[in-house]
Structure 1
Amino acid sequence: MKKKLLFVIPSLALGGAEKSFVNLLNALDYEKYEVDVFLFVKSGEFLPLLPKEVNVLAISDDFSSFSQPFFSSIFRFLKRGRIDLAFFRLMFVVGNTQAKNPSISEQMTWKYLKHFFPKIEKKYDVAIGYLEKSSNYFVVDKTLATQKIGWVHTDLKALKLDFEFEEKYLRKLDKIITVSDVLVEKLQHYFPKIQEKFYRVENINSAKIINELAHQPQVIMDENDEFFNIIFVGRLVKEKALHLAIEALEILLKNNHRVRLYLVGDGNKKEELKALAIEKNISEYVIFLGVQSNPYPLINAADLFLMTSIFEGKSIALEEAKILKKPVVVTNFSTASEQIIDGETGLIAEMNPEDVAQKIERVILNEDFRMTLIEKLSREKLGNEEEILKFYQLIYE
């Protein structure tokens, strides 16, 4: 008999966790598993990449009404005589305005949001929240399962959430998976009373699929021009600290290097980053490409992959760049040394534009060093489809 699995994730919008989720689902053996997926919002760039065997559960009418603009949502609930839901919709807005940051907001408002989701009546062997916070809260409060597993993809301290609230939910999970040894150690330190619940399963990357996709044609970047092309792929949000990339680019241009920066992705810092490039008078050298369904030909055509993050769990985009044998420069976030051997498979810079520029300049000026980086990446075992075996082991324990 097939084991029944339920995965919960807010959406399949462009993001590292969402990409790793799709990779995991594509690695599963559907001869052995019956898989349902619950999305808070049935949308996102990765939605078409779900395997055909996956069943996406329907969203409740209550949550559909909740998702409407505020006054329309309130009117719908009152029209149906659901004063309770109208009240919870109001309190959700109030909670959002009172919260100190987005993470606290997500925690504070869950006690209202959960009323718009009916309990899933189907009994599962394993229910899995694939993203920290709400996905895990949903699994605890709204599912029936023999085993309940949560997933954490980033450093919870960096999110500035309420640890007491978080621990209340993490305690109710049977196991919590995270993506690196560093994050296991951090979580065990943050939550010492449940440290035995934390396990590592790395984000799954398929080297074969990435290399195949990378050789599809692209017309954006000319590999034979005289520019040194730098690329970033990810969300244009605060934690990626892309102002450092733009400021480093300004330094390189002042040092008479012919360089361009390509930013692939979208996010709430996009307009601010555009304004910064204009302020620095370098906007013609910063190219915003938006979301690309297949960014791999662009990474393949670039000369260097840049990541200026403040924090990462274990970056999928960085692993993909390594699979494509791109020289990389990353900032010294807490897990950087797990992914890069400084000076051998890439360069780790301090979190300031001067050092980022200096590291990039080293790659530009020293072709022998650049070729050495590429050669050492060629020798690394990249791609980790076998991580699925660790996941199987956890759900069978």
Structure 2
Amino acid sequence: MKDILISSFDMEVGGVERSLISMLEHFDYETYKVDLMLYRHQGEFMKLIPKEVNLLKESLPYTSFRKSISELIREKNYPLAVTRVLAKLNTNILGRMKKMEEPGYLQMQLMWRYALPFLPNVEKEYDVAISYLWPHYFIAEKVKAKKKIAWIHTDYSKIETDSRMDIEMWNKFDHIVAVSDACKESFIKKYKELTNKVIVMENITSPLFIKKMAIEQTAHEMLPDKRFKLMTVARLSHAKGIDNGVKALKLLKEKGYNIAWYVVGYGGDEDKVKQLVRKNNLENDFILLGKKTNPYPYIYASDIYVQPSRYEGKAVTVTEAKILGKPIIITNYSTSSSQLTDGIDGIVCDLSVEGIANGLEILLLNENLRNQLANNCMNNDYSNSDELQHLYYLIDKECQRNHLKSSVKGVI
């Protein structure tokens, strides 16, 4: 039985975390022994971790990545507090110099890089170590494994980081798994020298589970609302374009449409979004529902699912909306072609406020088109647990190679 280590940050409600749970639910535990390293044992999805998974004990230094600087100081964890301050200061300087639109990724990269000397190594050696969420420094630097695999979930051509540091880190991995073909293409466009390391393995989806969860409870906040209801499930961040959604709704309301836009999610831009909602007098129309462990009843209760993102790898929530038979509209982010086929199982609109508003208006005015898109989704099979065969192939190929090397060495 091969020893596998999988690492991620925590089990807060999010698309990456949902995809990780789906993968763990379908894993072959008769062939592989799986240890899970979470930097912090928190989040509503903790209870969904399969019993076959061995959850490793929380390591105090690694919990720092989900704590504020003030928390670290109160805990007298001064070295890691200093690394956080340095990362923030250097990011502010570099961000202004390079006019970065979203410097948060660089700050996280520097935070990990500076913290490495103060983080413990993992004693056990694994057959395969998998880093499920960027930045991948833990698996790259602190774990011994015969083979290392890193996951990419987003459009890396849009992420502003120190590319030299990134290349150094990526080269510690044998394989890089992209969640879509478009995600792979955007990655190798930025990092051409890593082309041979990248394969595609789509997020595992379970249609039966999603449909079951959709009717398990009611979206009680939405039920009394008789207006036409839009729905987005996303992190409140620059990447997800929720601010553009607010502005697009303002344009539609000015045209007289009786609609409401609901958002399930949380994130660092929550205050900004709330301020924008107030500024446009949309408090009763653009409704933030906050964090929901089970978002499916809310998608199910909506009339149209909207993904107004600036960039994506492959949004888990769009596939989930397809499974629930919703008319879908997404923006024309660079990997949108891997998400749906325009006019068949959804609509791709221009990536702008006006583009979102115009795309929604087309669907609002055309009930036949909405029904056609919904029916096309309902008639498709989105189950794909066989995607895990790609991962098993990588694991077994490398383990067999190492076994052969050991056998030859023994003969010599």
TM-score by length of structure 1 reads 0.92
Alignment of 1:192-341 (within 5 A): 192-218=192-218, 219-222=220-223, 226-341=226-341
- After TM superposition, give the deviation of residue 146 of structure 1 in Å: 1.0
2: distance between equivalents of 1:254 and 1:204? 41
Q: Is the 8 A contact 1:65 1:76 kept in 2?
A: no
1: distance between equivalents of 2:186 and 2:24? 27
Q: How large is the Cα RMSD of the aligned pairs? A: 2.0
Alignment of 1:8-87 (within 5 A): 8-63=7-62, 70=69, 73=72, 86-87=78-79
Find the residue that maps to 1:389 and give its secondary structure. helix
Find the residue that maps to 1:23 and give its secondary structure. helix
Q: Is the 8 A contact 1:16 1:315 kept in 2?
A: yes
Q: Is the 8 A contact 1:5 1:125 kept in 2?
A: yes
2: distance between equivalents of 1:345 and 1:13? 29
Q: 1:66 to 1:333 in 2, by over 3 A?
A: closer
Alpha-carbon displacement from aligned partner over 1:212-233 (angstroms, at most 9, x marks no partner):
111123122228x641100000
Would you say how many aligned residue pairs link Structure 1 and Structure 2? 386
Question: Where does residue 178 of structure 1 map in the other structure?
Answer: 178
- After TM superposition, give the deviation of residue 71 of structure 1 in Å: 6.6
Q: Is the 8 A contact 1:14 1:235 kept in 2?
A: no
Q: Is the 8 A contact 1:60 1:117 kept in 2?
A: no
Question: Where does residue 381 of structure 1 map in the other structure?
Answer: 381
Question: Where does residue 82 of structure 2 map in the other structure?
Answer: 90
Q: Is the 8 A contact 1:232 1:305 kept in 2?
A: yes
Amino acid at match of 1:95: A
TM-score by length of structure 2 reads 0.89
Amino acid at match of 1:55: N
Q: 1:354 to 1:52 in 2, by over 3 A?
A: same
2: distance between equivalents of 1:17 and 1:252? 32
- After TM superposition, give the deviation of residue 42 of structure 1 in Å: 1.5
Alpha-carbon displacement from aligned partner over 1:25-58 (angstroms, at most 9, x marks no partner):
1110211221111111221221111101112212
Q: List gaps (5 residues or longer) in structure 2.
A: 96-102, 398-412
Amino acid at match of 1:129: S
- After TM superposition, give the deviation of residue 120 of structure 1 in Å: 0.7
Question: Where does residue 100 of structure 2 map in the other structure?
Answer: none
- 1:131 and 2:127 aligned: no
2: distance between equivalents of 1:266 and 1:67? 15
Alpha-carbon displacement from aligned partner over 1:7-32 (angstroms, at most 9, x marks no partner):
11112222211111111111102112
2: distance between equivalents of 1:226 and 1:73? 48
Find the residue that maps to 1:37 and give its secondary structure. strand
Q: Percent identity?
A: 33
Find the residue that maps to 1:125 and give its secondary structure. strand
Find the residue that maps to 2:35 and give its secondary structure. strand
Question: Where does residue 105 of structure 2 map in the other structure?
Answer: 103
2: distance between equivalents of 1:194 and 1:282? 46
Alpha-carbon displacement from aligned partner over 1:329-357 (angstroms, at most 9, x marks no partner):
11101111211211221111112222211
